[in-house]
């Protein structure tokens, strides 16, 4: 799990309706809490990032033949594609595998809250010709509400968590903001 935020305000127990969020935030939670905070404040700098542009290109080309692509649910989560009972998430590299896994686990969890059960997940790395199957087990299902609570707490911080250098910083679109 991502590092602890320094001072998290108390958050009352809240249900899924109050805590639900988008998949990018769940992904960023496992990469860097500062990144999550900056993104949650709409400080997006991704358009200039080569890595993000590469990801988008790959994304557009990799699964163009699948029938159901870019499925927006509740204007909240965007599923890359649905093939039968498998939801796909397309990624550029495996460097942030844990974040990718939790993102798709969250999608499976989200859909289950809507009553859509029995789906499986698959992370596709077309450039590496690899795929990773993901199943929402009891352990992940129990952990996701706590992750959502922590995301909300980080978003509610008055200031961003301190920058802490990691290997993720090298390709991060906020690197100039943090270290420039």
The contact set with ligand SF4 (CB under 6 A) reads 32, 34-35, 163-164, 168-169, 172, 174-175, 178
173 Cβ contact partners less than 8 Å away, ≥ 6 residues apart:
44, 45, 46, 48, 49, 51, 52
- Six-digit token pair at 99? 């974040």
- Six-digit token pair at 152? 């909300």
- Of the two residues 51 and 153, which places its CB atom closer to ligand SF4 in the complex? 51
Measure the CA–CA gap between 179 and 169, rounded to whole angstroms. 9
- Six-digit token pair at 111? 């859909």
Beta bridge partners of 13: none
> Cβ of residue 168: shortest distance to ligand SF4, in angstroms?
4
> Cβ of residue 35: shortest distance to ligand SF4, in angstroms?
4
- Of the two residues 112 and 171, which places its CB atom closer to ligand SF4 in the complex? 171
- Of the two residues 17 and 50, which places its CB atom closer to ligand SF4 in the complex? 50
- Of the two residues 110 and 174, which places its CB atom closer to ligand SF4 in the complex? 174
> Cβ of residue 83: shortest distance to ligand SF4, in angstroms?
32
Kindly calculate the radius of gyration of the chain based on its CA atoms and give it in whole angstroms.
16
- Six-digit token pair at 52? 């993000």
> Cβ of residue 125: shortest distance to ligand SF4, in angstroms?
21
């Amino acid at each position: 799990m991502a590092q602890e935020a320094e001072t998290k305000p108390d958050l009352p127990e809240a249900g899924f309706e109050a805590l639900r969020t988008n998949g990018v935030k769940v992904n960023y939670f496992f990469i860097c809490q500062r990144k999550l905070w900056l993104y949650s404040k709409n400080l997006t700098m991704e358009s200039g990032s080569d890595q993000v542009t590469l990801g988008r290109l790959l994304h557009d080309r990799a699964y163009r033949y699948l029938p159901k692509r870019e499925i927006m649910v509740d204007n909240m989560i965007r599923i890359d594609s649905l093939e039968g009972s498998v939801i796909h998430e397309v990624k550029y590299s495996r460097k942030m595998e844990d974040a990718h896994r939790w993102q798709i686990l969250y999608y499976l969890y989200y859909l289950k809250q809507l009553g859509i059960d029995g789906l499986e997940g698959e992370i596709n790395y077309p450039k590496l010709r690899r795929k990773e199957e993901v199943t929402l087990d009891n352990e992940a299902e129990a952990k996701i509400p706590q992750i959502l609570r922590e995301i909300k707490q980080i978003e509610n911080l008055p200031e961003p968590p301190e920058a802490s250098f990691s290997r993720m910083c090298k390709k991060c679109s906020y690197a100039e903001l943090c270290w420039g």
